[in-house]
Structure 1
């Protein structure tokens, strides 16, 4: 379980930095969150809401991809949103096209790719690159996400590893669904996703991070949506998430916190 934040300390921090929040108890922020940082924002939400009177309406939304739920697709349809929490490189694109405010952008945590199996299933050896490759070739089925980690695996790592055609036939990208859930119900023997996205899923065992030589760090960041109707409250939320007080929750979610400036 994640550690609950000290409500009084949180309230003092927020009220000191944004005194107007106390006068806006009815404010609701719509937060679009990628799965990699969803665990952290959901854990922060109850104490944050109690301390500030600001309600967080959190919606799951991939950082990229063609699914209607993806953050770029939602914003393109002008869906209401105040804050986006997502892969940093994808956020940069939103900033560049004017959909997110550049001066509100904060980096929150580094994420790394892990592998999972169904709960109780044997855990393949991934301690070395040779063992990792053998485990992939021997697997009956492999699933990976359609977001940052899966794009890297499909287009960079797997081709670099020169895996067989038989492997390519049994590996598939999963759109708009946590890979861990696919593994938990037995639809894939091995699943790959960011550690922070696998940790909340019931019914799986996390084997561990893939080898360092195969690893790719993904940066998760946040920003205020340009069309936010509550930009001050949105900035206050991001300020808290980037503070030292939120670092423990971010770490417990499976991310490596970015040191507060």
Structure 2
């Protein structure tokens, strides 16, 4: 944090937490007078910047990325605090029928029936790719998947 009269808390985060951090940052600024500047980018980019030595007061990323940065000496050991649990969601284009995902078998069928599948480069996208592998359908869906570039919200791809 800077030491001037109006200090600034500078941070970097993945896109997954950008809205909640904006809300929390605004509340913190109002209560303390300390300016908050959190840059939300793709998690891969954020980790790369931290590893390259860019200075931040706070780094908000998935736990596995934080652990790798700590192990490599880029973040202070013992400083990790778990803040949120981020779930995985399914979204469909407005007006499109909502698929049945009430069971694993129904979800598999919904994936098979999907014209396209979009997912992030973050932990949820990695988990989804692993799920497709486990189901034996990775090759089947490969031509219909669109991985959002780092920093691009998946929802914008679905909307398009």
Asked if TM exceeds 0.5, the reply is: yes
Encode CA deviations 1:87-134: one digit per residue, 9 max, x unaligned.
011101111111111232211111221111112321111111111111
Q: Tell me the CA shift for residue 79 of structure 1.
A: 2.5
Task: Indicate the residue corresponding to 2:114 in structure 1.
Answer: 139
Task: Indicate the residue corresponding to 2:137 in structure 1.
Answer: 163
Matched, 1:30 2:5: no
Task: Indicate the residue corresponding to 1:228 in structure 2.
Answer: none
Greater share of strand: 1
**Please, which runs of 5 or more residues in structure 1 have no aligned partner?**
1-20, 65-69, 186-261
Matched, 1:44 2:24: yes
Task: Indicate the residue corresponding to 2:88 in structure 1.
Answer: 113
Change (3 A) 1:98 1:166: closer
**Please, which runs of 5 or more residues in structure 2 have no aligned partner?**
none
Q: Tell me the CA shift for residue 50 of structure 1.
A: 1.6
Task: Indicate the residue corresponding to 1:102 in structure 2.
Answer: 77
Q: Distance in 2 between matches of 1:78 and 1:102?
A: 16
Matched, 1:61 2:35: no
Structure 1 segment 183-194 matched on structure 2, within 5 A: 183-185=158-160
Task: Indicate the residue corresponding to 1:90 in structure 2.
Answer: 65
Q: CA RMSD in A?
A: 1.9
Task: Indicate the residue corresponding to 1:80 in structure 2.
Answer: 55
Q: Distance in 1 between matches of 2:64 and 2:138?
A: 31
Q: Tell me the CA shift for residue 29 of structure 1.
A: 1.4
Q: Tell me the CA shift for residue 163 of structure 1.
A: 1.9
Please state whether the residue corresponding to 1:102 is helix, strand or coil. coil
Task: Indicate the residue corresponding to 2:146 in structure 1.
Answer: 172
Change (3 A) 1:115 1:39: same
Aligned residues: 158
What is the TM-score normalised by the length of structure 2? Answer: 0.89
Higher relative contact order (CA 8 A, sep 6+): 1
On the 8 A contact 1:33/1:85 being kept in 2, the answer is yes
